Structure 1
């Protein structure tokens, strides 16, 4: 259950990071609201997952998921130029995240 919560929390990290950019320094209401709600839910899920998953592993997975999805979203929807090397690096990051799950000996 902790791994599922951690993955959802990583997804929410990408949501709040994207909303933060779209809030334009908290000058736009709805992106600012989405940022706040997603941030609280993401941090709460990370805290929950850390009850069963070691801190270093949980944090690395959380950040990795958030970072990979945030940059992928930006490349897909035009905020950031895409390139083969960026796609390969994101895939490498995802591979490392999967690897951390596979070597987690707690479950």
Structure 2
């Protein structure tokens, strides 16, 4: 798993970074082994990678909520996807285009 951390070096300077570790406890131990004073260790939220770039989980959440709202309002799925594609960020837009193509192909 990937973790983000804040720590202080022996000179008191704050250090921020990311690291791989099996769990948060192991991540903290690894930082202490490097003579760092651990301030915080938290699991990094996963990002979705559709091959065109990383997509933030909140962008995916907003996309699915908007899609559900449009479909529940009676908008055809292809029209809803087309509207959302126009609003999507550069990492999500190609994925929406592919979904549109798959839906249109049946």
TM-score normalised to structure 1 length: 0.29
Larger relative contact order (Cα-Cα within 8 Å, sequence gap ≥ 6): 1
* Structure in which a larger fraction of residues adopt helix: 1
Higher strand share: 2
Q: Under a length normalisation based on structure 2, what TM-score does the superposition of the two structures give?
A: 0.30
